[in-house]
Amino acid sequence: MVYQLDLDHCYDFVMSLTIESGKIIKDALQGTKNIETKKGDWDLVTQYDKRIEKILIAGLAKEFPDHQFIGEETVASTNFLPELTDAPTWIIDPIDGTTNFVHSFPHTCISIALVVKRNIEIGIVYNPILDQLFTARRGEGAFLNGKRIQSSKISELRSSLVCIEASYAAIKSTRDLLLGRVEAFVSIAHGIRVLGSAALTLCHIAMGAAELYLSDNLYPWDVAAGVLIIREAGGDVYDTSGGEFNLMKPRVLAVGCSKLTPEVAKLIRSSDDKIYRKRIINNQDNSLE
Ligand code: 2AM
Ligand code: CA
Ligand code: CA
Ligand code: CA
């Protein structure tokens, strides 16, 4: 007999586990947290990130013993990022927007995706503070609290709201590139927003609340669920070069409307080129000192 994966059951099971785990975030938001740092002062983790990831993986592994798991805090503690195989794999971010969570800033969520044979089949992003449950299944549309969502149809940058990340310390080596892009986009677009949660930002593009999202410094667990949610809402996700998106090495250019992509990719390229030229000039100056 060929083993059939029951995606309906996977979806129902992970949904109730996620909603249940969301209560931990909600109850803990205003309280005292044990804050540790990982790669630097800006890279935060709390006991709640670790606890929620353990609960999610234990619950899913018990129900689906032959499934694989890629979770942010497990990868951090083992220092090992598993390869994505064809096996059913749950990609888990127990708290996306940990810095927001630490500051009691209410944009924080659980993000979980199920990937099977490299297709993202299920995506769930749940913000228990604002009671926003974003869900998608491949081929079946994207939903916010059960109501269908659609991404923006705006196809020009000059009419767009742009979302980015701006954790400067986190991306020291690329800070000048980020500032260059901010200058380039702010000169053309309606405005720039920084939500502080990649998963929720992708969902905001999916619901048509902003037109595009740019971030080079992300991981699979930040984006797996949101990528499906955007695609099911009518948008798409590309590499920041404008090329094909790679889930395991995500450099994200997410758009509500794919017609925006060439203009945005071109602007990123010209902005980055300007910075690279500046770096060369500065290095030459440095060498003269
Ligand atoms: P996290 O909260 O799960 O760490 C804003 O910082 C967004 O970028 C969040 O979605 C955050 O996820 C993600 N991010 C990815 N890598 C990060 C890092 N090294 N430092 C801070 N944020 C990071
Ligand atoms: Ca983190
Ligand atoms: Ca994250
Ligand atoms: Ca996280």
Cβ 108 vs Cβ 179: under 8 Å:
no
Catalytic residue among 49, 53, 73, 96, which?
96
The yes-or-no answer on residue 96 being catalytic is yes
The encoded tokens of residue 256 equal 């509500």
SS3 255: strand
The yes-or-no answer on residue 236 being catalytic is no
- Residues 6 or more apart from 225 whose CB is under 8 A from it? 91, 111, 112, 113, 120, 122, 123, 124, 125, 134, 136, 199, 202
> For residue 1, is pLDDT > 50?
no
139-180 pLDDT, tens digit per residue, is: 999 999 999 999 999 999 999 999 999 876 656 788 899 999
How high is the pLDDT of residue 66?
96
Q: Distances in Å between the alpha carbon of 42 and those of 45, 54, 241?
A: 10, 23, 27
Protein fold of 7-148:
Fructose-1,6-Bisphosphatase; Chain A, domain 1 (3.30.540)
Residue ranges with strand state E in the chain: 35-37, 44-46, 68-71, 89-96, 109-116, 119-127, 132-137, 142-144, 147-148, 161-164, 191-193, 212-215, 236-239, 252-255
Q: Could you tell me which CATH number the domain at 157-288 has?
A: 3.40.190.80
How high is the pLDDT of residue 93?
98
The yes-or-no answer on residue 72 being catalytic is yes
Cβ 150 vs Cβ 208: under 8 Å:
yes
193-209 pLDDT, tens digit per residue, is: 999 999 999 999 999 99
Closest ligand 1 atom to the C-alpha of 45? 4
Q: How far is the CA of 116 from the centre of ligand 1 (A)?
A: 25
Q: How far is the CA of 124 from the centre of ligand 3 (A)?
A: 13
Nearest to 227 by CA among 206, 196, 248: 206
Upper half-sphere CA count for residue 167 (Cβ side, 13 Å): 19
Catalytic residue among 57, 91, 92, 95, which?
95
φ, ψ (nearest 5 deg) of residue 104: 60, 30
Cβ 86 vs Cβ 188: under 8 Å:
no
Name all residues whose Cβ lies below 6 A of ligand 1: 39, 42-43, 72, 93, 96-99, 165, 167, 170, 196-198, 217-219, 222
CB atoms within 10 A of CB 52: 24
Q: Which ligand is nearest to the Cα of residue 71, counting in written order?
A: 4
- Residues 6 or more apart from 134 whose CB is under 8 A from it? 123, 124, 125, 126, 142, 143, 144, 149, 203, 206, 207, 225, 226, 229
- Which residues in the chain are classed under CATH 3.40.190.80? 157-288
Residue of the CA atom closest to atom 5 of ligand 1: 196
CB atoms within 10 A of CB 178: 22
Q: Which ligand is nearest to the Cα of residue 197, counting in written order?
A: 1
If pLDDT is split at 50, 70 and 90, which confidence band does 39 have?
Answer: confident
Nearest to 97 by CA among 113, 115, 110, 114: 110
Query: Which amino acid is located at 9 in the chain?
Result: H
Query: Which amino acid is located at 35 in the chain?
Result: I
pTM of whole model > 0.80? yes
Nearest to 150 by CA among 132, 134, 162: 134
The enclosing H or E element of 270 equals: helix 261-288
Residue of the CA atom closest to atom 9 of ligand 1: 197
The burial of 258, by beta-carbon neighbours within 10 Å (0-12 exposed, 13-18 middle, 19 or more buried), is given as middle
φ, ψ (nearest 5 deg) of residue 80: -140, 120
How high is the pLDDT of residue 284?
55
- Which residues in the chain are classed under CATH 3.30.540.10? 7-148
Q: How far is the CA of 97 from the centre of ligand 1 (A)?
A: 6
If pLDDT is split at 50, 70 and 90, which confidence band does 237 have?
Answer: very high
The fraction of the chain above a pLDDT of 70, given in percent, is 96
107-124 pLDDT, tens digit per residue, is: 999 999 999 999 999 999
Q: How far is the CA of 99 from the centre of ligand 2 (A)?
A: 8
The yes-or-no answer on residue 93 being catalytic is yes
| Cα–Cα dist 284/289, whole Å | 9
Residue of the CA atom closest to atom 3 of ligand 1: 96
Computed over every residue of the chain, the mean pLDDT equals: 95
> For residue 289, is pLDDT > 50?
no
Catalytic residue among 211, 216, 222, 236, which?
222
> For residue 217, is pLDDT > 50?
yes
> For residue 87, is pLDDT > 50?
yes
The yes-or-no answer on residue 149 being catalytic is no
* Cα angle, residue 21 at apex, residues 20 and 27 outer, rounded to 5°: 100
The yes-or-no answer on residue 8 being catalytic is no
